[in-house]
Structure 1
């Protein structure tokens, strides 16, 4: 089993990387899609909801599919769907067709996200050491490479369609080369049988959403993803309107935040081993809260940018720890628990920015982001108290 695990870990790492790469490659395509379809900002926003809607719809279903057919099959089919639909996002010129394509793309991303996290948690349980932070770190690195990669390919003179086909081929080749190294369904059932918690989990998986631990972790995931979504959608506007930064440079806040997240996740497994998961979550959430507060109140651009870096460092390893803890819940299969907290978390990423916009409209963007800072502090405090209570 050790040899199998040692082969499976690099395989799932490559899946995390290529998934982040494929998802973020859509970002440079957005301006092309807006111009091609002749959309205004509001219409584009509604169209973009289709991607998130597809992901959220498939996430709870993915847990069931993973238990029934094995996550290796689910990952493979999802990646094929992603690779197939990606080139269509570059040339479809009808709004309805584009909405359907984005929905399929999002569904594929959501499905593989749940399945690869379930595989990661299972492997971590067998390996006996933390690996989830590095897996999410590779997803973040893939995201950074993907967001820049397609743009660079186009800058070199490659047609957008050819660049998209290149990325799709990379996804397919990665899955093809790593397929046999991933656990098949029988190996996953054998893994589950080695853990007492999962021996009793056949019926519990049907009611994963009603489990107190799942609901608690899902709620905290909702807040963390909500804050990350707020950074993606509102950080540039905050820097431009509240700090007077030129529009061409206003994206630097989110870039710094993303780089900090990626770096800290790559070192996160060692931190969890040395400091414990409770310290990483509590300390990370409070650090993230302080970083966001610095962004809001600092009158100096340099400190504001530093605040984005601190925010990214603090938030980086919270969600990987939550996935790890989901895999340890009694009477709930790993796939079901991961599917439940993923759905709640990504709901926060979709609904959070909308909530921030609503609050900003009623008061100010600074106050809306301040509420996010308070909620992040609440994540750290509530997790600390919950873990203390569960140990007593």
Structure 2
């Protein structure tokens, strides 16, 4: 909890952490109105899926350019640019009058979110290196906290009764807070790095980190999308408990991220990734027991285990010798988000052609692979 106290006691740390929360608040507020937008534009699920894919396409489109933007503007100004662009483009999807403009607006929203994501992770990496303080995991905890804020804000839907107004008020409040605190990071620039020419020696640790990111974020995405159906169809959970797996997963993930920095400072980044994967493996074993209560506890352990893995990957990726932090973070983000987006799709196909339980056995296998990869990564550090 030391890093959490650090964030709340010093605006230098609160300011970037608030960007993490802001990103999930913008995205989450849009997400809760997806059914409303679908009905408003009179589109089917397939059309909606294509539109949402445009958002992902925007995120991936900015990945190759993000490090160049960060290095040209400075990581602080790039983060602020991401905040401004995300604040503007968050409004578009709820204002567009037709389906084609929805696709364009989501693509622009994705670009803005992608730039903000990479910039804020690079920003925290640079502050950690400069101040010798660990708060990356707690900053990701603020991202999870943003989702909680969105959930509480959803109770205002029947009171406000207007999606665009809801988003407008949300954007205004979030932007105002960012405007007040951005002075604490706007002038931060990445420390110069003696970059080395591309070689397999440099690529190997990044490749190993990419494997872990793909597997870990793929598992996160799969649990978010499939935990409810697993409890319903495999463990035959009563209806009142169907959402409990996701709730347990999200709560444990938020808690784990607030605790992760202190543990990381004691045992190191690679060891905490190994520990997180061990906890997640135990979680999957409980999930595969097919007992409802054990499965819910298993999803909680999954959340606790995965909570510390992704923040540590960004921390390690931003400190690879011979690679500037923006490039390292961009690589981790790209491979991780690929897993987050493709994981649920692959699992869905497997569940349809074989069984949902087999899908979760595959997730267990992927997490074991993450654990094994940490041993290889340790040897190459």
Common topology (TM > 0.5): yes
**Residues 285/13 of structure 1: CA separation in 2 closer, same or farther (3 Å cut):** same
Equivalent position to 2:275, from 283, 305, 308: 283
Equivalent of residue 353 in structure 2, options 347, 358, 362: 362
Structure 1 residue 324 displacement after superposition: 1.1
Matched, 1:160 2:150: no
Distance 1:152 1:209, change over 3 A: farther
| 1:231 equivalent among 217, 220, 223 | 223
State the match for 1:24 in structure 2: 28
User: Per the alignment, in what secondary structure is the counterpart of residue 321 of structure 2?
Assistant: coil
Aligned to 2:148: 144
User: Are 2:114 and 1:110 aligned?
Assistant: yes
Contact 2:11–2:181 at 8 Å: present in 1 too? no
TM-aligned CA deviation for residue 279 of structure 1: 2.5
Count of matched residue pairs: 373
TM-score normalised to the size of structure 1?
Answer: 0.89
Runs of 4+ in structure 1 deviating by more than 6 angstroms, as ranges, are 206-210
Asked if the contact 1:51–1:102 (Cα under 8 Å) also holds between the matched residues in 2, the reply is yes
Q: Is the 8 A contact 1:62 1:115 kept in 2?
A: yes
Instruction: Output aligned runs, 1:287-306, within 5 Å.
Output: 287-298=279-290, 300-306=291-297
The one of 244, 251, 255 equivalent to 2:243 is 251
The answer on whether the counterparts of 2:80 and 2:186 sit within 8 Å (CA) in structure 1 is no
| Paired position in structure 1 for 2:182 | 179
Aligned to 2:38: 34
The residue number in structure 2 matching 1:270 is 262
C-alpha distance in 2 between matches for 1:43 and 1:208: 42
SS of match in other structure, 1:211: helix
Q: Per the alignment, in what secondary structure is the counterpart of residue 353 of structure 1?
A: helix
* Structure 2: distance between partners of 1:275 and 1:18: 30
Unaligned runs of 5+ in 1: none
- Distance in 2 separating the partners of 1:322 and 1:95: 37
Q: 1:365 to 1:93 in 2, by over 3 A?
A: farther
Among candidates 41, 46, 58, match of residue 54 of structure 1: 58
How many Å separate the matches in 1 of 2:289 and 2:31? 30
Q: Could you say what secondary structure the match of 1:243 adopts?
A: coil
Distance in 1 separating the partners of 2:10 and 2:282? 39
Distance (Å, rounded) in 1 between the aligned partners of 2:242 and 2:149 = 20
Distance 1:138 1:370 in 2: 31
CA distance in 1, matches of 2:48, 2:289: 32
- Unaligned stretches of 5+ in structure 2? 1-8
C-alpha deviation, 1:122, in angstroms: 0.6
Whole-angstrom distance in 2 between the partners of 1:208 and 1:16:
33
Which stretch has the larger CA shift, 59-68 or 32-41? 32-41
Distance of 1:248 and 1:90 partners within structure 2: 32
Match of 2:375 in 1: 384
By how many angstroms is 1:249 displaced?
4.9
Contact 1:264 1:317 in 2 (8 A): yes
Pick which of 376-385 and 214-223 moved more: 376-385
Secondary structure of the residue aligned to 1:64 is: helix
- Partner residue of 2:324? 333
In the superposition, relative to structure 1, how do residues 158 and 43 fare at CA in structure 2: closer, same or farther (>3 Å)? closer
Is the 8 Å Cα contact of residues 211 and 370 (structure 2) preserved in structure 1? no
The answer to whether 1:212 aligns with 2:204 is: yes
Displacement of 1:207 in angstroms is 8.0
| Separation in structure 1 between the aligned mates of residue 317 and residue 102 of structure 2, nearest angstrom | 35
CA distance in 1, matches of 2:199, 2:175: 35
- Give the TM-score normalised by structure 2: 0.92
Give, in whole Å, the separation in 1 of the partners of 2:288 and 2:171: 40
1:86 is aligned to 90
Partner of 1:188: 189
Q: Is the 8 A contact 2:236 2:292 kept in 1?
A: no
